[in-house]
Amino acid sequence: MTSGLPIPVSEPRTPSIMPRKKKGLRVYHHKSRYGCSQCKRRRVKCNMQSPACGNCARRNELCEYPTFSDPPSGESSASPTQHQWLNEVSGFPVCGDDSTPVPLQYADWPIIHAGPLSGTIESRTSSPDTIRPLVSLLLRYSWFTEQEQAMWVPALSREASKYPYLQRCISALACLGQDTKHPYLSKPPVNAYRHQVSASSLFRQSPPVIDEGNWVAVRSFSVLMLVFQFYTQKTCRPEQFDIIETLQVMRSTMFLESASKCWLHKSPYWPLIMERTNITASEPDEGLKAALKHLGDVISESIGDEYDNPDDEQRAEINNHAFCELREWAAQCAAHPRRWYHYCQWPGRVMPEFFDVLAGGDDIALLILAHWATIMHLSPKPIVQSWARRTAFYAIRKLRGGWSDVLVWPLALLSAQPEVPFHRGEPVPTDLQFPSYAGGIDPQLCASTPVGVHHDIVPGPMEGLGVGWVPYVHTTLA
């Protein structure tokens, strides 16, 4: 673990949850105890159908079943031996030294439901020789050294030829370069979403275990899907920006990252990753320390207030837990998140109810989100920087109270580091093909949206992997 960022606090870290006086911790009432997150937020009955419940299918929304701490299917006993693969605190899988296969719960991976007309899913794969040229071009303009590229290109090509869901991920990102080649988006990236929906569905149909044979494909899938989410959310229209959906995707990515990290740490890739992402000791950011201290004081005051409404007290406790996790996360990554695991840690550690509080527009929750996004903006990956910048300003604009004194550091840092121009790579030769998507698509995805909405410079989606711009790839749709 890297050296932590020293952040002075007035007292030791508070417990995650501060119980209510005499009455204990109040839990939000939900009509559907085991329903999806969206139905719980709305407090409506969930029919729990897969892959998306009826309510989410009707609304064309992300459908996620929050079962991070549930045992695998068929296990009803709570014996320690059956649950050793789950961390007692976080609920995320822990891969031991013996590299025991980790069960997958596909309800933990959200799927963007494209509606009942999504059609069939083509699961054919191409040979590594067919996929390799595309992967090579996607990684050509990366920060990876030649040695790293020599390892990742054949690895991704080989895994994509074996696992259709990974091939669909690569195809989705490649299509984004063609669908969003202009900085003014008049339509959603339909071709890219076709492959993305296909990849997500195929992943949920794959064998329900992570082991030594498939961990590279599973981990690559989680990273590429997160890159897709960052990029589409960075370039979407304001009314389509959905921070809750992205945080849920990051939370699910955390699950897959945790389940596969033991094999990553034993692989030849890990020393190269460590060499590139380790940072030298530097002076702590005094502005960040002061900002977290100030934010902590605000949250402490909210905890100490007397509330007539029990829900207000519950929200204060949930926000306090999220802030404690933010403070610890900033220390662990030295306030410079630079690995995919760093990006997903905080969303994976907060209470699921925090998403409800955030969706409700609570000012304290928005302040916590703004500070987290500002730290995320310090990532070396431009696509993460770009998405985090939009997220921070999104949270700040939604604030209803006067919080200018709490926002001094976030606004100063975001103003001092404007968007970085992106390098555009060379086009892909038109004779280079990758498997097309076979099947229908929800007509809603094809509907035009008004033009004239200004967007910042549009980075290529593979910028998240170091690529300056996704090359335009010639595709044919069946």
Higher pLDDT, 170 or 318: 318
pLDDT score recorded for residue 346: 97
What is the pLDDT at residue 343? 94
Encode pLDDT of 300-350 as tens digits: 988 876 666 778 888 999 999 999 999 999 999 989 898 888 999 999 999
Could you write out the DSSP letters of every residue in 246-279? HHHHHHHHHHHHHHHHHHHHHSTHHHHHHHHH--
125 Cβ neighbours under 8 A, 6+ residues apart: 160, 161, 162, 163, 164, 167, 435
The residue among 188 and 26 whose pLDDT is bigger is 188
Q: If 0-12 CB within 10 Å is exposed, 13-18 middle and 19+ buried, where does residue 77 land?
A: exposed
pLDDT at 187 over 70: no
- Mean pLDDT, range 205-221, rounded to an integer: 87
Beta strand 111-112 with 62-63 is antiparallel
Q: What is the DSSP string of 335-352?
A: T---SHHHHHHHHHHS-H
Q: What is the pLDDT of residues 408-419, one digit of tens each?
A: 999 999 987 655
DSSP string, 92-121: -B---TT---EE--GGGS-EE---TT----
Sorting pLDDT into bands at 50, 70 and 90, what band is 180? very low
Most confident of 43-47, 81-85, 191-195, 353-357: 353-357
377-385: average pLDDT: 89
Nearest to 171 by CA among 436, 478, 430: 436
Q: Which residues sit opposite 256 in a β-bridge?
A: none
pLDDT value at 434 more than 70: no
Q: Taking residues 274-282, report their average pLDDT.
A: 71
Contact 218, 156 (CB under 8 A): no
The number of angstroms, rounded, from the C-alpha of 262 to the middle of its chain's C-alpha atoms is 20
pTM of the complete model? 0.65
Say what the pLDDT of residue 416 is: 77
103: confidence class by pLDDT, cuts 50, 70, 90: low
Q: From its phi and psi, is residue 119 left (phi > 0), alpha (psi between -120 and 50) or beta? A: left
Q: What is the pLDDT of residues 248-266, one digit of tens each?
A: 999 988 888 888 888 988 9
CB atoms within 10 A of CB 179: 22
Structure-model confidence comparison of residues 177 and 195, the more confident one: 195
Return the closest-CA partner of residue 230 out of 30, 436, 391: 391
Specify whether the CB–CB gap between 338 and 350 falls below 8 A.
no
Q: What is the reported pLDDT for 431? A: 35
Half-sphere exposure of 263 (CA within 13 A, CB side): 19
CA gap 94, 271 in Å, rounded: 21
3-state secondary structure of 284: coil
Question: Quick one: pLDDT band at residue 291, thresholds 50, 70, 90?
Answer: very high
pLDDT of res. 50 = 59
Q: How many CA atoms lie within 13 A of 181 on its CB side?
A: 14
Residue 49 has pLDDT above 80, yes or no: no
**Residues written for the chain:** 478
Identity of the amino acid at 301: E
pLDDT at 442: 34
Does the CA dihedral 44-111-460-274 come out positive or negative? positive
Q: Which H or E run contains 192?
A: helix 190-204
